[in-house]
Amino acid sequence: MKQILNILPMLIFFIFYKFYDIFIASGSLIITSGLLCIIYWVIYNEIDKINLFSFFVIAFFGSLTIFFHDSQFIKWKITIIYIIFSIVLLTSQFLTKKPIIQRFLEKDISISNVDWRKINFFWSLFFLFCSILNIYIAFWFSEKTWVTFKVFGFTSLTFFLILITGIYINYKISKEK
Protein backbone atom coordinates (compact mmCIF):
# COMPACT_ATOMS: atom_id res chain seq x y z
CA MET A 1 0.00 0.00 0.00
CA LYS A 2 2.79 2.43 0.90
CA GLN A 3 4.56 1.87 -2.42
CA ILE A 4 1.38 2.66 -4.32
CA LEU A 5 0.88 5.83 -2.28
CA ASN A 6 4.49 6.84 -2.97
CA ILE A 7 3.84 6.78 -6.73
CA LEU A 8 0.80 9.03 -6.43
CA PRO A 9 2.63 12.41 -6.29
CA MET A 10 4.57 11.57 -9.46
CA LEU A 11 1.44 10.54 -11.32
CA ILE A 12 -0.41 13.68 -10.27
CA PHE A 13 2.63 15.75 -11.31
CA PHE A 14 2.52 14.05 -14.72
CA ILE A 15 -1.23 14.59 -15.16
CA PHE A 16 -1.03 18.28 -14.21
CA TYR A 17 1.95 18.72 -16.52
CA LYS A 18 0.00 17.21 -19.43
CA PHE A 19 -3.02 19.46 -18.87
CA TYR A 20 -1.26 22.64 -17.69
CA ASP A 21 2.47 23.27 -17.39
CA ILE A 22 5.55 22.53 -15.29
CA PHE A 23 4.71 25.26 -12.78
CA ILE A 24 1.19 24.05 -12.00
CA ALA A 25 2.57 20.50 -11.96
CA SER A 26 5.26 21.56 -9.46
CA GLY A 27 2.60 23.07 -7.20
CA SER A 28 0.56 19.89 -7.43
CA LEU A 29 3.67 17.87 -6.54
CA ILE A 30 4.25 19.96 -3.42
CA ILE A 31 0.63 19.66 -2.32
CA THR A 32 0.39 15.94 -3.07
CA SER A 33 3.67 15.21 -1.26
CA GLY A 34 2.45 17.13 1.78
CA LEU A 35 -0.89 15.33 1.69
CA LEU A 36 0.96 12.02 1.46
CA CYS A 37 2.79 12.81 4.70
CA ILE A 38 -0.55 13.66 6.35
CA ILE A 39 -2.12 10.43 5.04
CA TYR A 40 0.80 8.42 6.43
CA TRP A 41 0.35 10.12 9.77
CA VAL A 42 -3.39 9.40 9.84
CA ILE A 43 -3.20 5.79 8.63
CA TYR A 44 0.11 4.59 10.13
CA ASN A 45 0.58 7.12 12.95
CA GLU A 46 4.07 7.87 11.60
CA ILE A 47 5.79 9.49 8.64
CA ASP A 48 8.72 7.69 7.03
CA LYS A 49 11.92 9.71 7.16
CA ILE A 50 12.38 9.23 3.44
CA ASN A 51 8.91 10.65 2.69
CA LEU A 52 9.44 13.58 5.02
CA PHE A 53 12.85 14.30 3.50
CA SER A 54 11.38 14.03 -0.01
CA PHE A 55 8.58 16.41 0.91
CA PHE A 56 11.03 19.07 2.13
CA VAL A 57 13.21 18.73 -0.97
CA ILE A 58 10.13 18.81 -3.22
CA ALA A 59 8.71 21.83 -1.36
CA PHE A 60 12.03 23.67 -1.59
CA PHE A 61 12.77 23.05 -5.28
CA GLY A 62 9.11 23.19 -6.31
CA SER A 63 8.72 26.56 -4.60
CA LEU A 64 11.86 27.88 -6.29
CA THR A 65 10.50 26.65 -9.62
CA ILE A 66 7.21 28.46 -9.10
CA PHE A 67 8.68 31.62 -7.54
CA PHE A 68 11.38 32.16 -10.18
CA HIS A 69 9.25 30.67 -12.96
CA ASP A 70 12.21 28.49 -13.94
CA SER A 71 11.86 24.74 -14.49
CA GLN A 72 15.58 24.14 -13.86
CA PHE A 73 14.96 23.97 -10.11
CA ILE A 74 12.47 21.10 -10.28
CA LYS A 75 14.76 19.27 -12.69
CA TRP A 76 17.56 19.35 -10.11
CA LYS A 77 15.29 18.04 -7.33
CA ILE A 78 15.44 14.38 -8.32
CA THR A 79 19.18 14.58 -8.98
CA ILE A 80 19.83 15.91 -5.49
CA ILE A 81 17.54 13.32 -3.88
CA TYR A 82 19.29 10.49 -5.74
CA ILE A 83 22.76 11.81 -4.88
CA ILE A 84 21.83 12.08 -1.20
CA PHE A 85 20.40 8.52 -1.25
CA SER A 86 23.61 7.29 -2.88
CA ILE A 87 25.81 9.06 -0.32
CA VAL A 88 23.74 7.81 2.62
CA LEU A 89 23.90 4.22 1.34
CA LEU A 90 27.66 4.48 0.72
CA THR A 91 28.22 6.02 4.13
CA SER A 92 26.30 3.21 5.81
CA GLN A 93 28.29 0.75 3.71
CA PHE A 94 31.62 1.82 5.15
CA LEU A 95 30.91 3.53 8.46
CA THR A 96 28.32 1.31 10.14
CA LYS A 97 28.13 -2.33 11.13
CA LYS A 98 24.98 -2.85 9.08
CA PRO A 99 24.21 -1.09 5.82
CA ILE A 100 20.89 0.76 5.68
CA ILE A 101 19.21 -1.71 3.35
CA GLN A 102 19.98 -4.51 5.79
CA ARG A 103 18.45 -2.52 8.65
CA PHE A 104 15.26 -2.03 6.63
CA LEU A 105 14.86 -5.62 5.48
CA GLU A 106 16.65 -7.96 7.88
CA LYS A 107 13.49 -8.60 9.94
CA ASP A 108 11.94 -10.30 6.94
CA ILE A 109 14.99 -11.59 5.03
CA SER A 110 17.92 -13.60 6.31
CA ILE A 111 21.06 -13.48 4.18
CA SER A 112 24.73 -12.95 5.00
CA ASN A 113 26.20 -9.56 5.85
CA VAL A 114 28.37 -9.78 2.75
CA ASP A 115 25.27 -10.15 0.57
CA TRP A 116 23.59 -7.21 2.32
CA ARG A 117 26.67 -5.10 1.62
CA LYS A 118 26.61 -6.10 -2.05
CA ILE A 119 22.95 -5.14 -2.34
CA ASN A 120 23.50 -1.87 -0.48
CA PHE A 121 26.48 -0.96 -2.67
CA PHE A 122 24.58 -1.85 -5.85
CA TRP A 123 21.65 0.37 -4.82
CA SER A 124 24.07 3.19 -4.06
CA LEU A 125 25.52 2.87 -7.57
CA PHE A 126 21.99 2.75 -8.98
CA PHE A 127 21.05 6.05 -7.34
CA LEU A 128 24.29 7.64 -8.52
CA PHE A 129 23.58 6.39 -12.06
CA CYS A 130 20.01 7.75 -11.90
CA SER A 131 21.25 11.16 -10.75
CA ILE A 132 23.65 11.35 -13.70
CA LEU A 133 20.98 10.08 -16.09
CA ASN A 134 18.55 12.72 -14.82
CA ILE A 135 21.06 15.49 -15.48
CA TYR A 136 21.63 14.17 -19.00
CA ILE A 137 17.93 13.86 -19.85
CA ALA A 138 16.92 17.11 -18.12
CA PHE A 139 19.47 19.23 -19.95
CA TRP A 140 19.87 17.48 -23.32
CA PHE A 141 16.24 16.60 -24.08
CA SER A 142 12.98 18.50 -24.13
CA GLU A 143 11.06 19.25 -20.94
CA LYS A 144 8.27 16.94 -22.12
CA THR A 145 10.73 14.07 -22.58
CA TRP A 146 12.24 14.73 -19.16
CA VAL A 147 8.83 14.74 -17.41
CA THR A 148 7.81 11.50 -19.12
CA PHE A 149 11.13 9.83 -18.32
CA LYS A 150 11.11 11.12 -14.74
CA VAL A 151 7.72 9.57 -14.08
CA PHE A 152 7.83 6.39 -16.14
CA GLY A 153 11.54 5.79 -16.82
CA PHE A 154 12.81 6.12 -13.26
CA THR A 155 9.81 4.19 -11.92
CA SER A 156 10.49 1.38 -14.39
CA LEU A 157 14.21 1.35 -13.59
CA THR A 158 13.46 1.20 -9.87
CA PHE A 159 10.96 -1.66 -10.28
CA PHE A 160 13.50 -3.49 -12.44
CA LEU A 161 16.17 -3.12 -9.76
CA ILE A 162 13.72 -4.29 -7.10
CA LEU A 163 13.06 -7.37 -9.25
CA ILE A 164 16.78 -8.04 -9.73
CA THR A 165 17.38 -7.57 -5.99
CA GLY A 166 14.54 -9.97 -5.21
CA ILE A 167 15.94 -12.59 -7.58
CA TYR A 168 19.39 -12.20 -6.01
CA ILE A 169 18.00 -12.52 -2.48
CA ASN A 170 15.93 -15.60 -3.42
CA TYR A 171 19.01 -17.15 -5.03
CA LYS A 172 21.08 -16.52 -1.89
CA ILE A 173 18.35 -17.87 0.41
CA SER A 174 17.89 -21.02 -1.66
CA LYS A 175 21.68 -21.49 -1.87
CA GLU A 176 21.99 -21.30 1.94
CA LYS A 177 19.29 -23.94 2.41
Task: Give mean pLDDT, residues 125-131.
Answer: 97
First-to-final CA distance of the chain: 31
Q: Model-level pTM?
A: 0.86
Greatest Cα pair distance in the chain: 58
Count other Cβ atoms within 10 Å, centred on residue 134.
Answer: 24
The whole-number pLDDT of residue 22 equals 95
Residue 106 pLDDT class (50, 70, 90 cuts): confident
The ranges assigned to domains in the chain are 1-70, 71-177
Task: Give mean pLDDT, residues 22-41.
Answer: 94
Residues 42-92: pLDDT tens digits?
Answer: 988 888 888 888 899 999 999 999 999 999 999 999 999 999 999 999 999
Residues 150-166: pLDDT tens digits?
Answer: 999 999 999 999 999 99
